[in-house]
């Protein structure tokens, strides 16, 4: 296994493209055919994957119910206002 990668920066960009679902089939095949032969690419892939997965799973919050209620009541008020105002101008 290679312990250093001469085009590691390009490989890192390709890894991100693959994990973002933006790489072509050929790009994916080329990368995965070589990944297990190159330590920096293997480690880089694992790191980028863990970053993506941890961001997705650990940084999400739910919208508090009170905001949803507030938005619904503001919309309701908006509808009432329009219902009153439109006939006045038509």
Partner 1 sequence: MLMEVEVKDKIYSLGNARQVFEKEFMPHMDAMYNFALKLTADEDDAQDLVQDTCLKAYRYINSFEPGTYAKAWLFRILKNNFINDYRKKSRGPSKVEFEWVEQSISGEDEAAEPAYFADLQAETVNDMLGDEITAALQSLPVDFRMIIILCDLEEFSYEEMAKILDIPIGTVRSRLHRARALLKIKLVSYAKSKGYN
Interacting residues with partner 1 (CB under 8 A): 8-9, 12-13, 16-17, 20-22, 40, 43, 46-52, 54-56, 58-64, 67-68, 70-71, 74-75, 78-79, 82-83, 86-87, 90
* Residue pair 14/27 in contact by the 8 Å Cβ criterion: yes
Q: Is residue 79 within 8 Å of residue 47, measured between CB atoms?
A: no
Q: Are 5 and 11 in contact, with CB atoms under 8 Å apart?
A: yes
Nearest distance from residue 24's CB to partner 1, in Å? 13
Q: Which CB atom, from 28 or from 52, has the smaller least distance to partner 1?
A: 52
Q: How far is the CB of 31 from partner 1 (least distance, A)?
A: 16
Q: What is the distance between the alpha carbons of residues 33 and 60, in angstroms, rounded to a whole number? A: 34
- Cβ at position 38, least distance to partner 1 in Å: 13
Spatial contact of 21 and 51, defined as CB atoms under 8 Å apart: no
């Amino acid at each position: 296994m290679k312990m250093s990668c001469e085009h590691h920066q390009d490989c890192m960009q390709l890894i991100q493209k693959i994990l973002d679902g933006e790489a072509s089939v050929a790009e994916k095949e080329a990368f995965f055919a070589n990944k297990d032969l190159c330590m920096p690419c293997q480690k880089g892939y694992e790191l980028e994957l863990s970053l993506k997965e941890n961001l997705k799973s650990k940084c999400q919050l739910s919208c508090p119910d009170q905001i949803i209620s507030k938005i619904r009541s503001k919309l309701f008020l908006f509808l009432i206002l329009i219902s009153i105002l439109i006939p006045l101008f038509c």
